[in-house]
Structure 1
Amino acid sequence: MTMLKNIGSLMLIASLCSGVAYAEEKPVVGLIMKSLANEFFRDMLEGTKEHEKSRGDYVLKAVGMQNETDFQSQINAVENFITQEVDIIVVAPADSRAMIRPLKKAIEAGIVVINFDVSLDADAKKKQNLELAFVGPDNRSGAKLAGVALANKLGAGGKVVIIEGNPGADNAIERKKGFMDAIEEHDLELLASSTAHWETEEANSVFSNMLTANPDIQGVMAANDSMAIGVIKALEAAGRAKDIQVVAFDNIPAVGPMLADGRLLATVDQFGRDMAANAIEKGLAVHRGGPELSGWIKTDIKLVEASK
């Protein structure tokens, strides 16, 4: 079977048009990720393509957003996958509420749906009478690990700011809670907290303004590595890279050199390269007659600290 691979400004799709007979009746998996401008999801895509190749018993269709606030493209992707009659949808929702109605429609169409990476909102699911398990990490505990690493470096009274992810995303909410847990338990002083929507350039701008307003900042808690990169660029431009500590979340390859030379104090590895592949494994098991998933199926996290 020939696979069409096209990376465009709006989304990346590895697919064939609906209605084509797939070789050996392999189940078709629709993977919906967030922004492919984010290295975390590009790396996830590569890991998933390797998983598809190594298993050889399913067909992957992968879709990504144009940017981290392009919620509509995820909704459109669900609608398209329903029309194409895929067997399984595996989704990392950019917004924990907006995706509930289209995913419920997919389930009603007989598609196995696996929610991974970012949990759907529990209250919104209840209102829609939707039972759907979550496969993913404990974002609050992970963020707290990073926050405690920062607290240990600064000591009580350290002055910090938070760069948040998308306000409507459960993982952004949970990571802020984890940072706040560390702040409160270790007597840090929170000077400011603002979203940069997971984006590097926006984080650069947001943090630059924070630094101008609060030149006594000692530490930064960034809710993902992409935003941490923007923060570090701003610190370097201001000549403050050596006296302000930064922690983050994701452990993408791009921050490896920053951990090695100490520009990034710590990050949290959630093993993103394997995350979608693991969710697909669970979806395939359900599709082939295994038990329905329920509750929260936790995946691993690990604190990664600077070499210096």
Structure 2
Amino acid sequence: MKRNYKIGLVMKSLQADFFQVMKEGAIQYAAPLPFLDLVCVGTATQTEVMEQIDLMYSLIDRQVDAIVLVPIDSKALVQPVVEAARKGIPVINIDIRLDARLLEQAGVEVAFVGPDNFTAAYGVGKLLSKKLQVRDEVAIIEGLAVADNAQQRKKGFLRAIEEKGLQLVASEPADWETSKAAEVFQTLWTRHPDLKAVYCSNDAMALGVLGQMQQKGRYLPVVGFDNDAVMKEFLSTGKLVATVDIFSSQMAVRGIEFALDVLEGRAENRGEHSTAYSIIAC
């Protein structure tokens, strides 16, 4: 390396298993590298947009060399990204894509490093659809509506649902949170007692849905997303049909590596750089 670098990794919901794994993987990667000072920060929950914006401006004020960002809100986080770019701090966007139109309007390019959420959700959704009959009633538990990955996962599920000829009777956001998913699902299951399956946009929400099923002593087929460790038991018993591993720690490392490549002049901060995913079935 030409010199030492300080890189900020901005995440969300550090209480969530997915981001705990991401943080630990990034720290392990950086630990043996004497030229890299990695600063890991994140919000407490999945919805603290203003808090995440403040974290971005704090890193800008600290004059870090680059930032690797998982945005909570694909639009709201564009402005601090633009401010960073104007101060010569490259931002590498990982996991949840920033709003391309707003970036273009600001004249700022950033690389995106992450999975194809649409294709992954479509794939796991097809596994669930195979267990159902035409016209069966199904529901989607969505992530945070302002996040691009939530939108892409919903679209992937919808394609699988439409191809099978299923009847979507509810599609409601639970903002990635277990407790909110439990509340949302309790209400919609009461409203739609003939429901046959549930497509969940992450495992944390699937956990809330399965908790409600456990209370009733009646399980419907469910799929999730993220391959959180807590879901292994549900996969092993077949209560969770499938989930998707998008390898959060590896994604963070790839983002950091890309930031170093940009700083060293080996890459330009632009383009889409796909990361791996794997469908894990029971």
TM-score per shorter chain, which class?
over 0.9
Output the CA distance in 2 between the equivalents of 1:231 and 1:119: 27
Q: Kindly provide the amino acid, as one letter, of the partner of residue 280 in structure 2.
A: V
Paired residues of 2:142 and 2:172 also in contact (CA < 8 A): yes
| Displacement of 1:282 | 0.6
1:128 and 2:106 are equivalent in the alignment: yes
**Which of 198, 210, 214 is residue 220 of structure 1 equivalent to?**
198
| Displacement of 1:44 | 0.7
Output the CA distance in 2 between the equivalents of 1:131 and 1:276: 19
1:46 and 2:55 are equivalent in the alignment: no
| Displacement of 1:26 | 2.2
Alignment length (residue pairs): 281
Output the CA distance in 2 between the equivalents of 1:220 and 1:146: 12
Paired residues of 2:128 and 2:222 also in contact (CA < 8 A): yes
Q: Kindly provide the amino acid, as one letter, of the partner of residue 257 in structure 2.
A: E
Task: Give the SS at the match of 1:232.
Answer: helix
Task: Give the SS at the match of 2:130.
Answer: helix
Paired residues of 2:90 and 2:269 also in contact (CA < 8 A): no
Gaps of 5+ in 2: none
1:196 and 2:177 are equivalent in the alignment: no
Gaps of 5+ in 1: 1-23
- TM-score normalised by length of structure 1: 0.89
Paired residues of 1:151 and 1:158 also in contact (CA < 8 A): no
Output the CA distance in 1 between the equivalents of 2:188 and 2:102: 34
Corresponding position of 2:131: 153
| Displacement of 1:55 | 3.3
Q: Kindly provide the amino acid, as one letter, of the partner of residue 282 in structure 1.
A: F
| Displacement of 1:56 | 3.8
**Which of 162, 167, 176 is residue 140 of structure 2 equivalent to?**
162
Output the CA distance in 1 between the equivalents of 2:250 and 2:70: 13
RMSD: 1.2
The one-character-per-residue Cα deviations of 1:64-122 (angstroms, maximum 9, x if unpaired) are 11211100111111111111010110000000000111111101111121000000111
Output the CA distance in 2 between the equivalents of 1:105 and 1:136: 23
Task: Give the SS at the match of 1:35.
Answer: coil
Corresponding position of 1:251: 227
**Which of 194, 197, 215 is residue 237 of structure 1 equivalent to?**
215
* Identical pairs, percent: 41
| Displacement of 1:57 | 2.8
Change (3 A) 1:140 1:150: same
| Displacement of 1:186 | 1.2
